[in-house]
A and B are shown apart, each in its own frame.
Chain A
């Protein structure tokens, strides 16, 4: 607590000068109540920049992203990198126990510490990791009076494990400061609850009553989905704004799940919808398509990188077009992990072996207050993202171990 207070004072001084320098833009945080007392609901409004964290996942190499001759993400490399500060030598630590995979990488970014994780029920190949240290969402919601739906995690449809990254099991943080999650998994559970509640289903666009048999099947299906995330059951959905969001989504795309965009394009679509409907202040998009290379097709990897590149373009365009986000939004783009560079095989880019290449990543931060066109050509750690984002948002991340990337701030 003392550390928090100290931090708050230092931050206040820093913010004051920043605000003055920037002509009152962006960094306005009320210093006296910036840090809520543990267990108490914060009352101070957040006036800092919006932050969108883009996980350039699942696992990409520098070669296909920031290397000019071999890139599959030209928009990111040639346009976005000019607008912000690039860390081309960011790494994941090679310490024992630090794994180079999606869940671990995502939690490195969100918590700011390297940790060893295992599935909550020790299921084989499952990665439902519960962070032991608070996530950025929890820091954010504990520091400011921000509604759950304004701290958002956008997850892929195949990765229900990632629903677990919405809050940690830290005794000072946890479920009370969780973020909301948008994913097809959440939509499906919402939809099933609605269908069971109203005993109605849209059949060929027209509503009709569910038969008893169908109702039983729907209940079983819901239970199966709820069992995927035991923490979700107690929440009974995620509250009014999220329900309203899904209702609009349903009205637009129907109930089949076959009309809306899919894969990482779905994540982009959900993010843009969320920006319009929910106005998140802190949002993380967990892109994942490049990871399909596990099945051997290199074009899935390169196409996945390109799809994220297209998503970034749409995201930046939408930010610029929306007054709420324009000139007040920081983008932090960072992969969850790299991929191998195994010259012994035809498909050289897996990532589960903690190879040097799978620890080599990069990061780009851009937005108000961040130096443009800068390349910081020295090693940096992935866990520094949490502290850096924390600093940009004016909130303490006292359990994060990474250093703030000072070069970011102009």
Chain B
């Protein structure tokens, strides 16, 4: 365990502080994580069980995405090569100080140090504000980040969702009324909606990562830059689409399963068990059921966004190094981070020679070829189609009138709960 002060190259003029020399032992750090990680997970799952609080999960995930992006750049920097821990680097700058650890749900980042006025941001703040920030800083951060995040996501995804919902309704009304002269309307419009969705999903994960990285909602609409990054990361985009399609399979089963629950209950607890359940028991069962659904959805949602952030960071750095993206095109936070890490100083000709093996170099060349790009493009289209198809299958097996179309838990709000109105005393069938 070294206690020597690490040397880091400070490029930025921003506020700095001496790096902390006292580090926790690896064992202590792991034990701490073993306690905190399940706790953070549990809180995330609880927040995901209601529509409103799931916005906090979105905010928290975006904060994690930002941390991931910066950490990805940090790994490419001299600071990492010299052995400076990411935490130490992050704490040097006010702009990255909050990224030293995983984001919190409730307490402000570094709450104890915030109370004591030891963080860079807390310097000069009145005590009451430090207490408030220390106690609830992350709640506010999660809301402030989550609301524009989901709003942006809705702007791009809602048109397809609304098309699906409207034309499922229209299509089956046409079929019910046997208006066969217009039989094509529902089908064509639904296919158009799926096409639009596929186009959007080529863009959305990188746009979400950019929004998270810059902290500016407008950056979500930097179509040129985001598309450049997405194109640069065809293979990663295909992998991401494959993961979305794969991880949404259990969700399709989860949304469909309530249709089979009476038989499952009768099968496991004996015939007649379902009929013997009171409405209150059915309600309790469903609440428990959807809690466990969220227990899957939250890590799946976070993982997918984490991967998107990694991909975005790698893609953007490559483009910056190639000179295809200029520093002024970066968000201020991004430019700061790259400057701090010395990544903006590397000229195109100064890019370090690739030290990877010949095979990897060849593979890189192959993956950037036109044929591979086309193949990846086709794969991405098919994978997003399969993702959309799962929504239709889920709706066929268990129709959820609004939320079934308007919320994709892995893309929009990481929330899944469908309690029939009749169980709350509403009008039911």
Contacts and interface: CB of A to CB of B under 8 A. Distances in A.
- The range of chain B's interface size is 35 or more
6 contacts: A257-B180, A258-B180, A263-B178, A292-B176, A296-B399, A355-B263
A310 interface: no
Interface in B241-283: 258-263, 275, 277, 279, 282
Interface stretch (B51-59, B335-343, B416-424): B416-424
A24 interface: no
B172 A344 contact: no
B422 A345 contact: no
Contact of A345 (B177, B259, B263, B396): B259
Nearest to B259: A345
Interface stretch (A27-35, A165-173, A346-354): A346-354
Q: Lowest 7 A-B CB distances belong to which pairs?
A: A296-B399, A262-B178, A344-B258, A295-B172, A344-B261, A343-B282, A347-B399
Q: Chain B's interface: helix, strand, loop or mixed, by majority?
A: helix
Interface centre among A294, A297, A304 (most CB of B within 10 A): A297
A199 interface: no
Contacts of A349: 429
A300 B172 contact: yes
Nearest to A298: B429
A162 interface: no
Contacts of B172: 292, 295-297, 300
Interface in A330-382: 340, 342-350, 353-356
A350 B401 contact: no
Nearest to B261: A344
Contacts of B396: 294-296
B222 to A, nearest CB: 39
A308 B106 CA distance: 58
Given A263-B176, A342-B258, A345-B420, A296 B395 contact: yes
Contact of B420 (A292, A304, A340, A343): A343
Contacts of A353: 259-260, 262-263
A211 B322 CA distance: 65
A289 interface: yes
Interface centre among B277, B399, B418 (most CB of A within 10 A): B399
B369 interface: no
B259 to A, nearest CB: 6
Given A297-B172, A350-B259, A356-B275, A344 B429 contact: no
Q: Chain A's interface: helix, strand, loop or mixed, by majority?
A: loop
A297 B259 contact: no
Contacts of B400: 346
B178 A157 contact: yes
A342 B422 CA distance: 11
B175 interface: yes
Nearest to A156: B178
A173 B176 CA distance: 37
Nearest to A263: B178
A289 B176 contact: yes
B200 interface: no
A24 to B, nearest CB: 46
Nearest to A346: B420
A345 B429 contact: no
B17 to A, nearest CB: 56
Contacts of A300: 172, 176
B261 to A, nearest CB: 5
Interface in A4-36: none
B260 to A, nearest CB: 7
Interface in A209-260: 257-258
B397 to A, nearest CB: 9
Nearest to A256: B181
A342 B262 contact: yes
B169 interface: yes
